[in-house]
Amino acid sequence: MNSRILTVFGATGFIGRELLRCLSKEKRDLFSVVRIFSRKNKDISFLENLNLNVKHIQGSITSQKDVESAIQGASHVVNLVGILYPTKQNSFDAVHHESVKNIARICHSSGVQQLVHISALGSSLDSSSEYARTKALGEKAALSHFPSSTILKPSIVYGPEDDFFNRFYRMAKISPVLPLVGGGETKFQPVHVNDVAQAILVALDERQSVVSGKVFELGGPHVKTFRELLKLMLRYSDPPLRRLLLPMPFWLAKTQATAFELAYQLFGVAPMLTRDQVELLKVDNIVTAGSLNLLDLGITPKKLSRETLSYLTSR
C-alpha cells in the first residue's frame, strides 16, 4: 500500500488546479492521499471531477496551528500560496516569507521527505518591489530550514484560466485602447501552466539528487516584450482584434495604481494594478543565463502559439 501523502497549500489557485488535474490524469498512484489546503468559503467543487483520494483541510497559511495539522503525517508538501497585493489580514511578508519559514520548519520537524516551493522569477532581496523582496526571503527561509527543498521560479504563467492574457483580452473586448506600462519594453518569458505543473510533479517524483536543494527558473521558449505579448494576444484572439497600444509612462501608471489602491481600501474592489506591480514591471522577467531550468527537469517548454492561446475566444 502506498503510504505517500501529499499536502498542497494553494491547491485551489490557477497552478494548483492544473497540478491536481495532472496528478489525477497521469500520476494517480503517486500518492495515497492528497490534502488540499484552502481558506474558508472557497468553492472546491472542481475536486469532484478528479480521480484522486482528496482530503480537504480549511485554514490559513499564516496560522501555525492550521499549517501544523495540514503537514502532520505528510510525506511530500507543495507550497503554491502567493498574493499579488497585501490585504488587512495578510501582508506580503506574512504570506511570502514568515509562512514559508513556518512550513519549512514544520516539514523538517515532521520528517517530510520533499518540499516543493513555488516562488517567482525576479525575486530579489534588493528589489524595489515588496512582492519580489518577500519572495526572495521566502526562498532563503525554505532552503535554510529545509535544505533539501526544491524551489521553482516561473515567469508569467499562462493557460486557459490565467490572469494575464485573459485580463488583457477582457479589457480589449470593451476598450479600443490598451495601456503599455513603461512603454511596454519590459521582457518576459511566459511559461505554460501545464509545464509548471509537470515541473512540480518531476520535483515530487525525481531522485533526490536531481532536485534536492536546487533552484529552477521556469520560462517558455520565447522572450517577448510586454508590447509583443499584447500584440500576440490580439492576433491570436478568436476572432482577431485590432486595438491601439498606448504607451503609459511609469509615473502615470503609478498615479493610476494609487487610485486603484484607494478604491480597494474604500470599497474592497480588487486593484487592477498596484504601485508595487509597477515597480515589478520596471525589470525584465527572464530566465538567468546558466540557471537550472525546465530542460534540466526533462521538460520541453510549450511554444506560445495560436494553439496554446486558443482559449482567447468569444465563440
**15 near ligand NAP, judged by CB under 6 A:** yes
Interacting residues with ligand NAP between 41 and 100 (CB under 6 A) = 42, 60-62, 80-83, 90, 95
Which residues does 262 contact at the CB level (< 8 Å), separation at least 6? none
Query: Who contacts 279 (Cβ-Cβ below 8 Å, separation ≥6)?
Result: 127, 128, 129, 132
Q: Looking at beta carbons only, is 7 or 38 nearer to ligand NAP? A: 38
Return the closest-CA partner of residue 191 out of 297, 294, 61: 294
Q: Rounded CA gap, 98 and 61, in Å? A: 10
Q: Residue 251 Cβ, how far from ligand NAP at the closest point, in Å?
A: 25
Question: Smallest gap, in angstroms, from Cβ of residue 164 to ligand NAP?
Answer: 6
Vertex 260 angle, CA 259 and 266, to 5°: 85
Q: Is-cis flag, bond preceding 247, omega within 30?
A: no
**Out of 5, 6, 14, 181, the residue judged to bind ligand NAP by CB under 6 A:** 14
Nearer to ligand NAP, 15 or 230 (CB): 15
Residue 186 within binding range of ligand NAP, rule CB under 6 A: no
Contact 183, 253 (CB under 8 A): no
Closest chain position to ligand NAP (CB): 13
Query: Is residue 120 close enough to count as binding ligand NAP by CB under 6 A?
Result: yes
In this complex, which beta carbon is closest to ligand NAP, that of residue 246 or of residue 270?
270
Nearer to ligand NAP, 252 or 284 (CB): 284
Binders of ligand NAP: how many residues, by CB under 6 A? 23
Give the Cα separation of 35 and 151 in Å (integer): 20
Quick one: which of 5, 6, 7, 10 contacts ligand NAP (CB under 6 A)?
10
Residues 148-177 that bind ligand NAP (CB under 6 A): 154, 156-157
Instruction: Tell me whether residue 65 or residue 315 sits nearer to ligand NAP (CB atom).
Output: 65
Instruction: Say whether residue 203 binds ligand NAP (CB under 6 A).
Output: no
Choices 14-22, 24-32, 207-215, 295-303 (CB under 6 A): range interacting with ligand NAP: 14-22
Which stretches of the chain bind ligand NAP, using CB under 6 A? 10, 12-16, 38-39, 42, 60-62, 80-83, 90, 95, 118, 120, 154, 156-157
